[in-house]
A and B are shown apart, each in its own frame.
Chain A
């Protein structure tokens, strides 16, 4: 899977937002509010041309060592679901 548009991340004192880049700047009203884990998912998808769900979870596990793989997988699935509902995810 990959993002349907490129996004830039803005972090203001821990309040994180994603902003669509270039031609897509009008998408999702210009910005999407994120938590840290969601921002990491966006960054990972931004950096790759395509990433599987297991690969995404595995990458996140290296950072979120205090979370169980199940917790990371659950959060990742929920956030990907939100992205898909917004039309921001391409399978």
Chain B
């Protein structure tokens, strides 16, 4: 299959084997001339299978045998993201919620409660919407922009938009709700763990350089929160009051 998607400001021609990735990308398809192309081979899918098994084993989880069609969706994103690193675009693990033209990325290790928290925003903050629930792309410049993509986690929450990124929030569970500004130094380990870390050294260095630039371009925050609706209010009131036009 052959189709072109518009992601993070670039038209990307995708040559895939299975139809799943085509179906997944429908909302992002364009008929414009591509800026670059990627092609998936069976070996790319096998690579994803091996990586998936290894990661499950490392995390002590039962190994799930995913379909080749699903693994191809991962292979497509990996290839796209690797090319985009050269164009100043970084993939981060996190959930992005926006209100109007300001977006905030909430990041934390899996299982911490990112999705739970952004759902609190959707239920309690008027006008809020999810840009991407799991794997957004960020164009790193002096005014970074975060983009929705079809790769958006189990819930698939995403919107085909690009929104100025107003901050990155490092989320942790807490009994009470509190938020404060954070230094890059204090959040660096989590920042690095939650960004795309290619297995190739040169690509990894590009990814780390973008992390460094991003950390200087947007404010960083630490949010400790529970599952009460007030968590969304505490976060939104602090973050929206800190947005500089």
Residues of chain A having any CB pair with chain B under 8 Å:
6, 8-13, 15, 17, 19, 21-23, 25-26, 29-31
Contacts and interface: CB of A to CB of B under 8 A. Distances in A.
Contacts, number: 51
A29 B199 contact: no
B212 A12 contact: yes
A18 to B, nearest CB: 10
Nearest to B183: A15
A10 B188 CA distance: 11
Nearest to A28: B189
B201 interface: yes
Nearest to A21: B201
Contacts of B205: 8-10
A28 to B, nearest CB: 10
Interface of B: 54, 58, 184-185, 188-189, 192-193, 197, 199-201, 204-205, 208-209, 211-212, 215-216
A31 B189 contact: yes
Contact of A19 (B54, B192, B200): B192
Contacts of A31: 188-189, 192-193
User: Looking at chain B's contact residues, is the secondary structure mostly helix, strand, loop, or mixed?
Assistant: helix
Contacts of B188: 12, 15, 17, 31
Contacts of B192: 10, 17, 19, 30-31
Contact of B189 (A9, A25, A26, A30): A30
B245 to A, nearest CB: 26
A10 to B, nearest CB: 4
A21 B203 CA distance: 10
9 contacts: A8-B201, A8-B205, A10-B209, A11-B212, A19-B192, A22-B201, A25-B199, A30-B192, A31-B192
Contacts of A17: 188, 192
A8 B205 CA distance: 6
A30 B189 CA distance: 7
A22 B208 contact: no
B199 A8 contact: no
